[in-house]
Amino acid sequence: GSPNLAVTLEGSFTFWFASEFNRDVFVSDPAAFAPAVGGFCALGLSGIDPLHPDDPDPLDLDTVPADPDVWYLDGRSGDLLLFKGQDALAYFLAANATDLLGAARRTWRDSVLDALPCRS
């Protein structure tokens, strides 16, 4: 993208775009472009992560970080999914991704979002 086509949201997130059209589409609904499940690793947040069986509870969000360079755009849901590494992405795609994504969404919705102070 270009710094001449940059948009800053919430005072700290700056996005650069390659065209005015892309920038304008983003500005019209930035939430539609946000990563699913809070931007955490979709496999880790699912609680079903055989690659890291010793990881603690997925609700300890420090254990489910994501690498913004390891992502997948789900063709069914349109969700942008992030992963903690290439191995997590590969497992997610080889396994039943629909079930794993459903589990990650449930964890995010039922446990993480409900626990946030702004939601009570």
pLDDT at 72: 95
Q: Indicate if the pLDDT at residue 4 is higher than 90.
A: yes
User: pTM for this one?
Assistant: 0.73
| Angle CA 83–78–112, to nearest 5 | 55
pLDDT at 89: 94
How far, in Å, CA of 111 to CA of 71, rounded?
Answer: 23
Q: Indicate if the pLDDT at residue 114 is higher than 70.
A: no
pLDDT, tens digit (0-9, with 9 covering 90-100), for 88-113: 999 999 988 889 999 999 988 887 76
Q: Indicate if the pLDDT at residue 8 is higher than 50.
A: yes
Half-sphere exposure of 99 (CA within 13 A, CB side): 7
How far, in Å, CA of 32 to CA of 29, rounded?
Answer: 6
pLDDT at 87: 92
| Angle CA 116–117–120, to nearest 5 | 95
pLDDT at 119: 41
CA 81 vs. chain centroid, Å, equals: 4
pLDDT, tens digit (0-9, with 9 covering 90-100), for 23-79: 999 999 988 888 888 888 999 888 877 766 665 555 566 667 899 999 999 888 888
pLDDT at 59: 58
